[in-house]
Amino acid sequence: MKGVMIAGTASGVGKTTVALAVMAGLRSRGTVVQPFKCGPDFIDGGHHSAICGRTSRNLDTWMLSGDANRRIFLRASARASFSLVEGVMGLFDGVAGSGEEGSSAEIAKLLGLPVVLVLDASASSRSLAAVARGFEVFDPSVRMAGFILNRVAGESHLRLLESAIRSSTALPILGWLPVEDSIAIPERHLGLHTAAETAGSTQKFEAFAQLAERYLDLDSLSQFESAISSVSNDERESHEVISVRVVARDEAFCFYYEDDLDALRELGADVVTWSPLKDHELTLGVDALYFGGGYPELYARQLSENHSLLTDLRRFAQVGQLDLGTRFHLDCSLPAPCPTVFRSDRAPTCTIHWRSRFSCALRVRP
């Protein structure tokens, strides 16, 4: 199985930019690329999906077992010709300083993936060779495959970097990227703007693909392979599943683990998406509503002014559907003005059923 991990020395070095360039370059050559993102990150995965035309999947060794991560990787990669995993933070950064749990390095070893390391070359020359060498030898069990240099100032800067790195390590430089406005993605306090907010997706794809062809060694990158071992079949426990689960999915509510939704479908749920921003009524026959995370605070006024939908939501919360065990995901962080379904002094009691370290389902009772 062909595949590679694009990792970095730290957050902010340009992993996503490089990963998107490789994805676009390979896809423009006719390769079916399956994207993945390490850790509980939803924004980067949205950009992956836009570039690859396939839903990006999350991998996380802190929330999920090794076998669960391998199953996600193998299942999603089955009909692709190349798998690309973007790391999280720095390659060896995890939940503790003394071990690899939750790190990109742990996932790379778990999936048998070679690692291409992104080095931020801005304001650096020979010192970058020391960084490259340190990452190469820090953990011999990680399959380091080479480097991609990001934010290179030009050809003369590149020659300095190549001379320094090639004299310090035998690993290849697999390309470089200059600072390029055409592929820049705006940022905010929690990371990049989402793919839905980024205008001109076709132009972005073409810009990434052209840069990849010009600056990256796509021939070599496309030949890397995973040495992942097989994994036993996933035997899901049998649970009572509601028949129709409506998932709020638009610019305001866009943070979901796709494999969670797949699990609901496999258990028999009919998962329907809708937009609290654009739709003005609830889908008929709804048994449950699911509001994921996102940036609802950016759309507070628009959500508040969707009066007909708010009426439907309040009616749904107050009538007999509650006896069916309707589940809600409630987010009370919106600034005023914001829509309200339950007043604080009349809120129903909730029993919390933990599903993982981060998520839970709320069974709402009148």
Span of 126-140, 157-171, 194-208, 244-258 with lowest mean pLDDT: 194-208
Mean pLDDT of the chain: 84
pTM (2 decimals)?
0.82
Which two three-digit tokens encode residue 183?
């592929």
229-258 mean pLDDT: 74
DSSP string for residues in 82-102: EEEEE--SSTT--SSSSS-TT
Place of tokens 């924004």: 43
307 versus 29: the higher-pLDDT residue is 29
For position 183, what pLDDT does the model report?
87
Residue 344 scores a pLDDT above 80: no
For position 234, what pLDDT does the model report?
64
Place of tokens 């329907």: 272
Residue 342 scores a pLDDT above 50: no
- List b or e across 35-44, with b for residues whose CB sees 16 or more CB atoms inside 10 angstroms: bbbbbbbbbb
Is there a contact between 120 and 14 (Cβ–Cβ < 8 Å)? yes
265-285 tens-digit pLDDT:
888 888 889 899 999 988 777
Residue 147 scores a pLDDT above 50: yes
pLDDT bucket at 219, cuts 50 / 70 / 90: very high
Superfamily of domain 3-221: P-loop containing nucleotide triphosphate hydrolases (3.40.50.300)
For position 362, what pLDDT does the model report?
37
Tell me the CA distances in angstroms from 51 to 17, 201, 208, 306, one per residue in order: 11, 8, 9, 32
347-356 tens-digit pLDDT:
444 333 333 3
pLDDT bucket at 359, cuts 50 / 70 / 90: very low
Residue 60 scores a pLDDT above 50: yes
Rounded to 5°, angle at Cα 354 from 353 and 359: 120
Q: How far is CA 365 from the centre of its chain?
A: 34
Tell me the CA distances in angstroms from 37 to 5, 84, 308, 337, one per residue in order: 9, 9, 37, 34
38-50 tens-digit pLDDT:
998 888 999 999 9
